């Protein structure tokens, strides 16, 4: 007689558990758990939703969440995984959508802890919390690490993107803006090393704002959009989720102007061209959680 066993192929779960055991910072938000559980209930797990469909469902679920900047750097204590569904910035919004999407693909009864583990794996270098500098602060670093972890694929080159070479140094040249750099010389030195590695990285591409319309038909609802920037020392200035609405490619994002998560009125191309500091976009697509079955007698 043969028995089939489902195995989650993300081997990181084998070694991430000790790091996950540490305390989670809920940022004083009492509805974190209920929001995660509410999303799980809203997803029909009997339907074969694609990863992109789950991303859109998560993004729309979080509409009207207040915009709050700097939620991950609100204190100067030890680095903790911060979860805050009471307020998000553009990046915590994207990461939360990803974690909800990935956790909801698991083939068993879902729990808040599944979301927590996924969020940690996305946000930190190789999924491990090892101090402030283990968080993936720069978008280029975040992209390369999450590609390596097989969480996303970078579609930008295949969409006709142009190469660019990052030149990041904003954090180390503005340490007064980051308490844990200002107060910790070791963190500052490590961040300088990370910036140097980013600046030597290859395979970085962007689609200029003026060329988005020409490639928009190849961008899918649920794709992650990063906006490259001409701000000195930065690589990316904003992020959101692509969304097709009534034949127009728009953006779902945590907007500092609207002060909440919204669907943009402008098309993605118009939005990009309306911001003087934006030079183009990076297009990323989440990959499905992989499973296999092992048969035994």
For 75-96, the pLDDT digits (tens) are 767 899 999 999 999 999 999 9
pLDDT of residue 47: 65
pLDDT of residue 114: 93
pLDDT of residue 45: 57
Number of domains in the chain: 1
pLDDT of residue 226: 98
Q: Pseudo-torsion of CA 245, 283, 137, 251, nearest 10°? A: -10
Distance between CA atoms of 264 and 68, rounded to whole angstroms? 18
21: confidence class by pLDDT, cuts 50, 70, 90: very low
pLDDT tens-place string over residues 160-193: 999 999 999 999 999 999 999 999 999 999 999 9
Contact 67, 93 (CB under 8 A): no
User: Which residues span the domain enclosing 195?
Assistant: 3-296
- Among the residue ranges 35-44, 227-236, 272-281, the one predicted with the least confidence is 35-44
pLDDT of residue 76: 67
Tokens 């959101």 — which residue? 240
219 has pLDDT over 80 = yes
- Among the residue ranges 41-55, 120-134, 254-268, the one predicted with the least confidence is 41-55
- The closest of 85, 94, 98 to 38, measured between CA atoms, is 85
Burial status of residue 19 (CB atoms within 10 A of its CB: 0-12, 13-18, 19 or more):
middle
Pair type for strands 236-245 and 291-296: unpaired
Q: Pseudo-torsion of CA 150, 288, 239, 186, nearest 10°? A: -30
Which CATH number is 110's domain given? 1.10.3670.10
295: confidence class by pLDDT, cuts 50, 70, 90: very low
Q: Rounded mean pLDDT of the chain?
A: 89
61, two tokens: 């679920």
Q: What is the mean pLDDT of residues 250-261?
A: 98
Predicted model pTM: 0.91
- Among the residue ranges 37-46, 127-136, 161-170, 254-263, the one predicted with the least confidence is 37-46
**DSSP line for 230-291:** -STB-SEEEEEEEEEETTEEEEEEEETTTTEEEE-SS-HHHHHHH-TTEEEEEEEEEPPPPE
């Amino acid at each position: 007689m043969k028995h089939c066993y489902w195995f989650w192929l993300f081997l990181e779960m084998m070694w991430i558990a000790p790091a996950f055991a540490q305390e989670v910072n809920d940022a004083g938000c009492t509805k974190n758990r209920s929001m995660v559980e509410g999303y799980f209930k809203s997803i029909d797990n009997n339907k074969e939703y694609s990863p992109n469909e789950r991303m859109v469902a998560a993004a729309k679920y979080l509409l009207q969440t207040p915009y709050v900047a700097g939620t991950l750097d609100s204190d100067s204590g030890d680095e903790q995984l911060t979860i805050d569904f009471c307020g998000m910035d553009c990046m915590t919004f994207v990461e939360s959508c990803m974690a909800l999407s990935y956790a909801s693909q698991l083939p068993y009864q879902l729990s808040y802890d599944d979301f927590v583990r996924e969020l940690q794996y996305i946000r930190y270098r190789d999924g491990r919390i090892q101090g402030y500098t283990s968080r993936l602060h720069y978008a280029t670093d975040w992209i390369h690490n999450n590609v390596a972890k097989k969480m996303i694929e970078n579609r930008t080159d295949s969409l006709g993107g142009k190469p660019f070479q990052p030149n990041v140094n904003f954090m180390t040249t503005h340490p007064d803006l980051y308490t844990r750099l200002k107060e910790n010389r070791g963190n500052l030195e490590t961040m300088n090393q990370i910036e140097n590695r980013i600046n030597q990285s290859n395979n970085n591409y962007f689609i200029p704002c003026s060329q988005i319309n020409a490639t928009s038909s190849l961008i899918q609802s649920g794709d992650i959009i990063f906006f490259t920037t001409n701000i000195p020392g930065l690589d990316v200035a904003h992020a959101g989720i692509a969304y097709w609405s009534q034949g127009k490619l728009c953006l779902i994002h945590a907007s500092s102007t609207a002060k909440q998560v919204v669907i943009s009125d402008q098309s993605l191309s118009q939005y990009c061209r309306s911001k003087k500091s934006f030079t183009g976009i990076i297009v990323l697509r989440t990959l499905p959680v992989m499973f296999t079955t092992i048969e035994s007698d």
